[in-house]
Amino acid sequence: MHNPFQLLTEAFHPQYRVNLSIERLDGSIMLTLSEEQTVVAKRLISPAQRNDERRLRNVIRSLQQRIELEHAAV
C-alpha cells in the first residue's frame, strides 16, 4: 500500500514547501505548494485520487507540468 502523503511530499519537496490539509468531510485534501511567501499551486485531491496510486501519480504529473508552463511564461 502506498502512502499518498509521502508520495506527494517527495514529488515536490525540497523545491517547494508542501502543506497538506483535510479540506472536506468526504476526506478530500488540499495540497498547497509554496516558496517563501508565495503560493505556487493549490490542488484539491479527492479521496478516489488519493487512494489510487496511479491516479495520484497522474495528479502529480499534471501539477508539475502546469507549474513548468507557468514558470516558462514568466
- Give me the percent of the chain exceeding a pLDDT of 70: 97
**Amino acid making up residue 50:** R
Q: Which residue bears the cell 515536490?
A: 12
d(CA 62, CA 74): 19
More confident residue, 8 or 72: 8
Q: Which residue has the cell 514558470?
A: 71
The residues near 23 (Cβ < 8 Å, ≥ 6 apart) are 29, 30, 44
**39-54 pLDDT, tens per residue?**
999 999 999 999 999 9
Pairing of strands 17-22, 38-45: unpaired
